[in-house]
Structure 1
Amino acid sequence: MSLSTLTKPWEAMSYGFLDGSAKRELRRKMLKSVAVPGCQMPYASREVPMARGWGTGGLQVSLTLVNLQTRVKVIDQGADDSVNAASIRRFIARVAGTPTTMDTLEADLIQSRHRIPEEILREDQVLVLQVPNPEPLRSVQPNMSIARQMHADADYGRMWLQLYEQIVRSGRVMQGASYPSLVHGRHVMTPSPIPRWDVPKLHMAKHLTILSAGREKRIFVVPPFTRVEPLVFSDVPYKVEEHGALTCTRSGTTGFFMNEIPQDDGTSSFEISDSEWGVKTIRARDGEGENRGETWYKDGEMPQ
């Protein structure tokens, strides 16, 4: 046996790697998801050259939407230069010939894992979020058949009970990332593993948000100008992470979501999670005239 017998002759691939049938199915499911905000739609998740759980769902959506004029930005936990973000960005550019950027304002399509950029997105921009676990009821109902019936009946009593138990036992809601949220007053969704800080950015946002889980083969959408309301009790208000008073050690910016970096002496320093906003802040401080957009948060507070 030789290596040549195990390989196939080179064949031209479809534009954007995915075949036409896969793209048509994804487009149909995205349109259905727009029509029923927050409702999970199943799709036949295709194989792509990366491991399941590393953004295959978001990658398939991006490959379906891009064209030669689409400027793509990919971030991983806020950073444009992480291994996962750089690999996905390079792959999309290679198979689709799309231009890439790290500037949120220049991007037409933004694929993200764990974060929403600090700069407000426009109506003509699309945000694609990678989702590891799309089912918000999994922690209270592991049987997925029953969970889907609960969604159909809008039966979210167990979810409310779980939040109540957390408050009774710990004095506050312990749910961090993937905070369950009610979309358009009907379906409860898990908004990807984004932190609580980012969930208010989805409420009545101008942009289209597509959430896709490749391993779980589910896709759901938050259309523009759609209500996204975290599940909270009327006497226990929703709270985001207390990062408003923290200052980035590199850029000096304050009032944004930060990454905590432990130091050798037991203390911690902080760096802004949105790396491109930090770069823009440094350039503006150095007098380079950097173009910075409006941000969701002002001094650590989301305007009402």
Structure 2
Amino acid sequence: MSRLPFALLDEQSKREIRRAILKGISIPGYQVPFASRELPIGRGWGTGGLQLTLALIGKEDVLKVIDQGADDSVNAVNIKNLVEKTTGVETTIRTQEASLIQSRHRIPEVPLRKDQVLVLQVPEPEPLRKIERSEFKTKRHHAEKEYSGAYLMLFEQIMRYNQTSQGADYPVLVNDRYVMNPSPIPRYDNPKIHNSEALILFGAGREKKIYAVPPYTKVASLAFEDYPFVVEQFDGKACKETGLSNVFLDELTDEQTGETYYMCNDTSYMQEILQQKVGAK
């Protein structure tokens, strides 16, 4: 019986993915095509991010996997188990302990360090896809730095709702050059990409694209002078368990009472705060 290679992928596949990563780092925000591999998970469930993780992970790494802020969701647990079984690496739920973090829909609340790598799963990497279906034309728009369509999309939202209504996939301008889709993270997380100490990688397996934001790179969310970019507001609201108000909150409803309450979306950060409060007593 043949033995699976370390981190599942063969070495040639890993080298090809690493070359795409290096090109993405060299040209921040640029979508690099790559030969996306078949994996034992369905496309659309994180194959792009998983391929980046498998190509980068080493025996000394500590892995954390998040799905919409949670470490214990089905998607996060299965990806973590797959990587753990094919590498034997240590896993953690604490952001501070991880050297490699794979995430879907969120950037952790704890600020990332320069010795960490964040991998974001991306279902749709093209920020112009909603206004242009042709791949050939979107590539030409990027080459010519023709992004009026992206601004028009936001302008239409302002005309309809008197504000930009896009809650996730909010487009950003990277290094004053490429407009980029930051993955389906909430607007709240967009500022975390700007001048991040950590390397941030984006992988779209179904669309066969890899792109990157190197550390200390300028990243600005698209906006207008009279309608500046703003993140989700939680004024007067706080996490029911921790009392935190300076975090991204989920709005929930108690099934028995019908009462609306809020919880910190980053479950591991919430647990850490609760442990600190217990220890302080």
- Tell me whether the two structures share a fold, i.e. TM-score over 0.5: yes
Task: Give the TM-score taking structure 1 as reference length.
Answer: 0.90
> Which residue among 190, 214, 217 is the counterpart of 2:181?
190
Deviates more, 1:267-276 or 1:257-266: 257-266
Q: Secondary structure at the match of 2:227?
A: coil
- Alignment length (residue pairs): 280
User: Which structure 2 segments of 5+ residues have no match?
Assistant: none
Note the alpha carbon deviations across 1:126-168, whole angstroms, 9 max, x for none.
Answer: 0000000000000111111111111111000111111111111
2:157 alignment partner in structure 1: 166
Q: Which stretches of structure 1, 4 residues or longer, exceed 6 Å deviation after superposition?
A: none
1:238 alignment partner in structure 2: 229
In structure 2, C-alpha distance between the alignment counterparts of 1:140 and 1:95, rounded to whole Å: 41
Note the alpha carbon deviations across 1:40-77, whole angstroms, 9 max, x for none.
Answer: 00000001110000011110100111111000000000
Percent identical pairs in the alignment equals: 46
> Which residue among 205, 217, 222 is the counterpart of 2:213?
222
> Which residue among 24, 27, 35 is the counterpart of 1:33?
24
Whether 1:152 aligns to 2:152 is: no
What letter is aligned with 1:73? K
1:271 alignment partner in structure 2: 263
Q: 1:197 to 1:145 in 2, by over 3 A?
A: same
Conserved 8 A contact 1:203-1:225 = yes
What letter is aligned with 2:274? I
Conserved 8 A contact 1:253-1:281 = no
In structure 1, C-alpha distance between the alignment counterparts of 2:238 and 2:141, rounded to whole Å: 43
> Which residue among 95, 98, 105 is the counterpart of 1:107?
98
What letter is aligned with 2:166? Q
Rg larger in structure: 1
Q: Secondary structure at the match of 1:67?
A: coil
In structure 2, C-alpha distance between the alignment counterparts of 1:18 and 1:176, rounded to whole Å: 35
> Which residue among 47, 68, 73 is the counterpart of 1:77?
68
In structure 1, C-alpha distance between the alignment counterparts of 2:13 and 2:212, rounded to whole Å: 18
> Which residue among 57, 74, 95 is the counterpart of 2:48?
57
Deviates more, 1:160-169 or 1:191-200: 160-169
Whether 1:140 aligns to 2:131 is: yes
Deviates more, 1:163-172 or 1:221-230: 163-172
Task: Give the TM-score taking structure 2 as reference length.
Answer: 0.97
